[in-house]
Amino acid sequence: MSTAPAARLLLDEMFSPAIATELRELGHDVAAVADRADLRSKADEDVFAWAAAERRWLLTENVKDFRPIMLRALQTGTPASGLLFTSSRSFPRSRKNPGPLIRSLHAWLTAGPPAPPVTESWLLNVEEP
């Protein structure tokens, strides 16, 4: 039995809400920006602030924008959301085959997030050798 705290996750706008639905069906607490009218079209800073307030890790491909936001939050002592990075190279976005991403997220969520003070992680494809 895992002693890791259950991770809560927010999928950035580039990810289909269907992925969040699949993960919720597997028992995970996952929300999607694309599924929430209050988050769609918001600035990255606002999405990060919402994720932090909700104590959710944020899954995104947008390293260049979100990493500096997180670093600023850490410097000011503001509670930081964890960032879970991935890339379209590791997980090509496809409505036809979201399976590898879903299975990899399920494994990451089941294992639990990295222990503090770690505030970022890279999602590994569990199907790659």
Q: How many helices (H) and strands (E) does the chain have?
A: 4, 5
- The pTM of this model reads 0.90
Give residue 101's domain range. Answer: 8-122
Tell me: the pLDDT tens digits for 105-119? Answer: 999 999 988 877 778
DSSP string, 57-83: EEEES-HHHHHHHHHHHHHHTPPPPPE
Tell me: the pLDDT tens digits for 59-78? Answer: 999 999 999 999 998 888 87
Asked, for residue 129, whether it belongs to a domain, the answer is no
Beta carbons of 84 and 91 less than 8 angstroms apart: no
Q: What whole-number distance in Å separates Cα of residue 2 and Cα of residue 127?
A: 22
CATH number of the structural domain spanning residue 99: 3.40.50
Asked, for residue 3, whether it belongs to a domain, the answer is no
Tell me: the pLDDT tens digits for 12-55? Answer: 999 999 999 999 999 999 999 999 999 998 999 999 999 999 99
